[in-house]
Amino acid sequence: MTTATRGEPAPIPTPRPQAVLTPLNTGSEALWAYDPAPERIRPEISPSYGLFIGGTFTPSASGATMPTLNPATDETICQVARGEQADVDRAVQAARDALPAWSALPGKERGKYLFRIARRIQERARELAVLETIDGGKPIRESRDIDIPLAAAHFFYHAGWCDKLRYAFAGREPTPVGVCGQIIPWNFPLLMAAWKLAPALACGNTAVLKPAETTPLTALRLAEICKEVGLPDGVVNIITGAGETGAALVNHPGVDKIAFTGSTEVGKRIAKAVAGTKKKLTLELGGKSPNIIFEDASIDQAIEGIVQGIYFNQGHVCCAGSRLFVQESVLDDVVTRLQRRLASLRVGDPLDKNTDVGAINSKAQLETIERYLQAGRDEGATLHEVNGSTLPSAGSWCRPCFFTGVQPSQTVAREEIFGPVLAVMSFRTPDEAISRANNTPYGLAAGIWTDKGSKIFEIASRLKAGVVWLNTYNKFDPASPFGGFKQSGFGREGGMHGLRAYVRL
């Protein structure tokens, strides 16, 4: 640059060596591969864990337990208590007892506890990341760089709101809702606990949280953290258990608000159970989110975003970009580059720092995904399985893959698969892209890939989705609200909007 401005010819750039696009992990074909880089920390894990009620770990009333497994090895990690009606009764009572003092605490004081929880999550981050990966199968890189830091960020963010709630609801007097029953899924175990607990506590509520049956361990560590920071007993209670435990919480008359994240099917059941009661309800359900690539997009950037959108966390993401609409003129190019990128993803040991795609969360989820793969083939779509990673012999695994030749009426274009499976379709005009993208009972998220700012604003305003990402995907921040349209649920989590679910005005 400087040479050129002095009137001399710009130096001719030396050509960069072309990247060699040989698939990795394909045995004899592999040109080079990464050495294993396993995470070596092994957090201490007790053989069994109790329920966290009123500040104490206690066995379930019946003594019932259930195992949690490592989905990458099929090994049982430990036993956790299986909470039943009597346990839910005790937990709700503990939350109710803690409510008057906690809600009367000045916001500034409540904020200090949230701040301490956030700090303690940071201090124990490595241990939490490893546990998340062992219990749920997600790559350590993701739990380390995304789940745990974001969980801490949610507590930091809401610590700041504690003494400023009156500014969030200008001219009105926000008061707590009361005892919150919170039920979360297995795809982001600690992060979902943070999404639920941080705003509830910030607004002066107490909570009973039920983690998913396959991933209870980090929520139990969070219970330890609540104790470590001196959070008053009963403000947070954690009840491990299965669907019936969740149902007991939903139906408990002592609960003032239910917040649920999980499948649309269970969400509908909860909505029915809560209808006609005084309970407040927010639901964050499934999705079939579209990514739209226009011909003027930066294709390589788009491919990275698409890959991030659907293969991140094995596709166990409610807002996964599971439908891809590509403008017809660039369809072949996109498919070729997608194939090439897919071949280079490393699938395997979630504790290896080089792993891109980890284990499927459970055998049941793997069976669901496999049923969808079969349905796609049966209905005439073409399945592209180009990844050649050598998969471990034990555990639940699914190589990232995609379908082309997909018709909008086919199962793989309509239903949430919740796995690393993408449905690729094409479009000709922006109007067609919008109508096809919106042609779904869901509306959680969407992505738009184009170089034209005006197109971005036009398309984004016409997509019926709670979050629309522009030239990026799956970016989260505690300050931005998240939630769905249509069957993806109602209510927002995060940001100032998310506080609304946890106050009465």
- In the complex, the smallest distance separating the C-beta of residue 245 from ligand NAD, rounded to whole angstroms, is 7
Q: State the residues that interact with ligand NAD by CB under 6 A.
A: 183-187, 210, 212-213, 242-243, 246-247, 250, 261-263, 266, 269-270, 284-286, 318, 365, 368, 416, 418
Give the dihedral sign, CA 459/462/464/466: positive
Q: In whole angstroms, how far apart are CA 234 and each of 184, 189, 218, 281?
A: 19, 21, 19, 22
Residue 54 or 216: which CB sits closer to ligand NAD? 216
Binding of Mn ion at residue 218 (CB under 5 A)? Answer: no
- In the complex, the smallest distance separating the C-beta of residue 454 from ligand NAD, rounded to whole angstroms, is 33
Residue 214 or 218: which CB sits closer to Mn ion? 214
Instruction: From the candidates 226, 318, 319, 398, give the one annotated as an active-site residue.
Output: 318
Pick one of Mn ion, ligand NAD, none as the site partner of residue 68 (Cβ within 5 to 8 A by kind): Mn ion
Q: In whole angstroms, how far apart are CA 336 and each of 50, 79, 323, 343?
A: 51, 46, 17, 11
Segment near Mn ion (CB under 5 A); pick from 52-60, 134-142, 171-179, 440-448 = 134-142
Residue 71 or 286: which CB sits closer to ligand NAD? 286
What distance in Å separates the CA atoms of residue 151 and residue 348, rounded to the nearest whole number?
25
What distance in Å separates the CA atoms of residue 492 and residue 218, rounded to the nearest whole number?
24
Pick one of ligand NAD, Mn ion, none as the site partner of residue 165 (Cβ within 5 to 8 A by kind): none
Q: E strands along 20-127, which residues?
A: 48-49, 51-53, 56-58, 65-70, 75-81
The interaxial angle of helices 125-136 and 148-161, nearest 10 deg, is: 120
End-to-end CA distance of the chain: 60
Residue 80 or 334: which CB sits closer to Mn ion? 80
Q: What single-letter DSSP state applies at residue 105?
A: S
How many residues touch Mn ion under the rule CB under 5 A: the total is 4
What are the residues whose beta carbons fall under 8 Å from the beta carbon of 142, sequence distance 6 or more?
312, 313, 358
Known catalytic membership, residue 284: yes
The answer to whether the CB of 494 falls within 8 A of the CB of 479 is yes
Binding of Mn ion at residue 214 (CB under 5 A)? Answer: yes
Binding of Mn ion at residue 68 (CB under 5 A)? Answer: yes
Known catalytic membership, residue 401: no
- In the complex, the smallest distance separating the C-beta of residue 132 from ligand NAD, rounded to whole angstroms, is 15
Token readout for 340 is: 């090439």
The answer to whether the CB of 54 falls within 8 A of the CB of 179 is no
Residue from 84, 87, 132, 135 binding Mn ion (CB under 5 A): 135
Token readout for 455 is: 């197109």
What distance in Å separates the CA atoms of residue 322 and residue 304, rounded to the nearest whole number?
14
What distance in Å separates the CA atoms of residue 110 and residue 300, rounded to the nearest whole number?
46
Binding of Mn ion at residue 213 (CB under 5 A)? Answer: no
Residue 79 or 175: which CB sits closer to Mn ion? 79
Pick one of ligand NAD, Mn ion, none as the site partner of residue 262 (Cβ within 5 to 8 A by kind): ligand NAD
- In the complex, the smallest distance separating the C-beta of residue 444 from ligand NAD, rounded to whole angstroms, is 8
Token readout for 500 is: 């609304």
- In the complex, the smallest distance separating the C-beta of residue 317 from ligand NAD, rounded to whole angstroms, is 7
Instruction: From the candidates 284, 415, 416, 493, give the one annotated as an active-site residue.
Output: 284
Residue 159 or 200: which CB sits closer to ligand NAD? 200
**Residues catalogued as catalytic:** 284, 318
Residues within the interface to Mn ion (CB under 5 A) = 68-69, 135, 214
